[in-house]
């Protein structure tokens, strides 16, 4: 009898080993018990299932501005959540928006046999390498910028053209009698930035009396935004509005304060983050259009995991509604930034 019991126990252990599932496979924090960061909402929950075989997901983003840092918070949270589900998430930083750097980074991920890659869809220059990844059987999820002409699995983010229209309407409403305005964009080569810039101009170009005095690149850098804003004020002391389409709005805000122009120039920007929260609250920034960078980092990774482990599909297009923050609303909308 004793020998029979031992044989049965060994057979059970071998069966478990044969499936690739360890004895601790169910030892994970269930989705309903996850501790969600303050002020955040999880748009997708991980399935309560561990991978039978180890899986690897790469999540790639720029880290040259506060928005990229906010995306990384979401990426690292996904990494933490999935760690006990037999999934490794590697958060990979790319220095800037140069397509060549992104291409080489994605090629390295292909060579490293990742199961899924999550990327900022910088521009259609990435189309060939994305298709190279999918042809190799790797799932690709885009966030912020979409690459619709590729075989990517899904996209997550805000409608950038519509967000640009929101910025244009904010300028239009703030300067009803017309006047000078300028646009500081991150890069003319980044699809999302271009959609915002052209979305804004689709509104402002139709307003009689609004005069565009210039469009400039700051490469998402706050110091460059500061210098550009200072130069704009010097050359155009009667300027009425400035739109910063991407990173670096804190630099533009500080330039307005240093020149004594805060509250006199309408400053419109994107992303409600630590770097700009106080500028919004005190009225230096008139309108900030938030795009949920936390979930842009978190949701693609978790969606990739759910597909790989449970064959759970997500929507192909996942559009985030813009959250419009103003000096009157920002503390109620983002209380975690003012604690």
Phi, psi of 80 (to 5 degrees): -65, -45
Is residue 45 within 8 Å of residue 302, measured between CB atoms?
yes
pLDDT at 26: 63
pLDDT-derived band at 27 (thresholds 50, 70, 90) equals confident
Which letter does DSSP use for residue 126 in this model? Answer: G
Do residues 121 and 256 both lie within one domain? no
Do residues 277 and 176 both lie within one domain? yes
Q: ∠272-103-322 over CA atoms, to 5°?
A: 20
- What is the spatial distance between Cα 129 and Cα 186, in angstroms, rounded to a whole number? 23
pLDDT at 4: 34
174 within domain boundaries: yes
- What is the spatial distance between Cα 273 and Cα 31, in angstroms, rounded to a whole number? 27
Segment among 22-26, 47-51, 72-76 with least mean pLDDT: 22-26
State the average pLDDT over residues 146-175: 97
Residue 140: pLDDT over 90? yes
64 within domain boundaries: yes
Do residues 107 and 255 both lie within one domain? no
Do residues 172 and 282 both lie within one domain? yes
Taking only the tens place, the pLDDT of each residue in 168-188 is 999 999 999 999 999 999 999
The Cβ of residue 263 has, within 10 Å, a number of other Cβ atoms equal to 14
Is residue 266 within 8 Å of residue 83, measured between CB atoms?
no
28 within domain boundaries: no
Is residue 170 within 8 Å of residue 207, measured between CB atoms?
no
User: Quick one: which of 49, 52, 59 has its CA closest to 114?
Assistant: 59
Distance of CA 282 to the CA centre of its chain: 26
184 within domain boundaries: yes
User: Quick one: which of 10, 54, 48 has its CA closest to 26?
Assistant: 48
Do residues 129 and 51 both lie within one domain? yes
pLDDT at 23: 35
Residues 6+ away with beta carbon under 8 Å from 311 = none
pLDDT at 206: 96
Do residues 179 and 238 both lie within one domain? yes
Q: Which domain holds residue 169?
A: 160-292+327-336
- What is the spatial distance between Cα 276 and Cα 282, in angstroms, rounded to a whole number? 10
The Cβ of residue 145 has, within 10 Å, a number of other Cβ atoms equal to 22
5 within domain boundaries: no
Is residue 302 within 8 Å of residue 143, measured between CB atoms?
no
Do residues 331 and 207 both lie within one domain? yes
Do residues 128 and 107 both lie within one domain? yes
Average pLDDT, the chain: 92
Residue 1: pLDDT over 60? no
Number of structural domains the chain divides into: 2
The Cβ of residue 12 has, within 10 Å, a number of other Cβ atoms equal to 10
pLDDT at 16: 37
Name the burial class of residue 311, with classes exposed (0-12), middle (13-18) and buried (19+) by CB atoms within 10 angstroms of its CB. exposed
Do residues 109 and 147 both lie within one domain? yes
- Residues shown for the chain: 339
Taking only the tens place, the pLDDT of each residue in 236-265 is 999 999 999 999 999 999 999 999 999 999
Taking only the tens place, the pLDDT of each residue in 66-120 is 999 999 999 999 999 999 999 999 999 998 889 999 999 999 999 999 999 999 9
8 within domain boundaries: no
Strands of the sheet containing 323-325, edge to edge, are 210-217, 179-185, 239-244, 266-270, 287-290, 323-325
Q: Roughly what angle, to the nearest 10 degrees, separates helices 249-258 and 222-235?
A: 40
Do residues 145 and 57 both lie within one domain? yes
Per the DSSP assignment, residues forming a β-bridge with 118 are 59, 141
State the average pLDDT over residues 285-291: 97
12 within domain boundaries: no
Segment among 13-27, 259-273, 278-292 with least mean pLDDT: 13-27
Do residues 196 and 121 both lie within one domain? no
179 within domain boundaries: yes
Percent of the chain with pLDDT over 90: 88
User: Quick one: which of 77, 61, 75, 60 has its CA closest to 220?
Assistant: 61
pLDDT at 96: 87
Do residues 179 and 190 both lie within one domain? yes
Residue 56: pLDDT over 50? yes
Write out the two tokens for 18: 């044969």
pLDDT at 230: 98
Residue 5: pLDDT over 60? no
* CATH (domain of 259): 3.40.50.2300
């Amino acid at each position: 009898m004793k020998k029979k019991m031992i044989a049965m126990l060994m057979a059970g252990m071998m069966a478990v080993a044969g499936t690739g599932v360890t004895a601790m496979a169910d030892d994970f924090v269930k989705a309903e018990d996850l501790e969600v960061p303050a002020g955040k909402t999880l748009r997708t929950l991980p399935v309560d299932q561990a991978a039978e075989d180890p899986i690897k997901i790469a999540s790639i983003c720029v880290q040259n501005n506060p928005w990229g840092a906010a995306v990384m918070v979401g990426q690292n949270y996904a990494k933490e959540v999935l760690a006990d589900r037999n999934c490794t998430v590697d958060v990979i930083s790319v220095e800037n928006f140069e397509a060549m750097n992104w291409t080489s980074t994605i090629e390295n991920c292909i060579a490293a046999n990742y199961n899924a890659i999550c990327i900022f869809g910088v521009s259609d220059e990435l189309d060939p390498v994305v298709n190279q990844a999918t042809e190799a059987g790797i799932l690709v999820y885009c966030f912020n910028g979409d690459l619709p002409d590729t075989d990517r699995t899904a996209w997550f983010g805000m409608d950038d053209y519509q967000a640009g229209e929101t910025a244009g309407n904010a300028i239009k409403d703030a300067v009803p009698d017309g006047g000078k305005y300028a646009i500081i964009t991150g890069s003319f080569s980044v699809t999302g930035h271009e959609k915002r810039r052209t979305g804004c101009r689709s509104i402002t170009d139709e307003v009689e009396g609004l005069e565009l005095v210039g469009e400039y690149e700051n490469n998402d850098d706050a110091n460059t935004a500061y210098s550009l804003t200072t130069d704009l004020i010097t050359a155009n002391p009667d300027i009425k509005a400035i739109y910063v389409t991407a990173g670096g709005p804190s630099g533009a805000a500080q330039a307005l304060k240093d020149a004594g122009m805060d509250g006199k120039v309408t400053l419109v920007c994107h992303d409600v983050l630590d770097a700009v929260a106080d500028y919004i609250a005190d009225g230096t920034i008139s309108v900030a259009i938030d795009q949920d960078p936390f979930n842009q980092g978190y949701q693609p990774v978790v969606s990739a995991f759910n597909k790989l482990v449970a064959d759970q599909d997500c929507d192909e297009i996942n559009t985030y509604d813009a959250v419009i923050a103003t000096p009157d609303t920002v503390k109620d909308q983002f209380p975690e930034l003012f604690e």
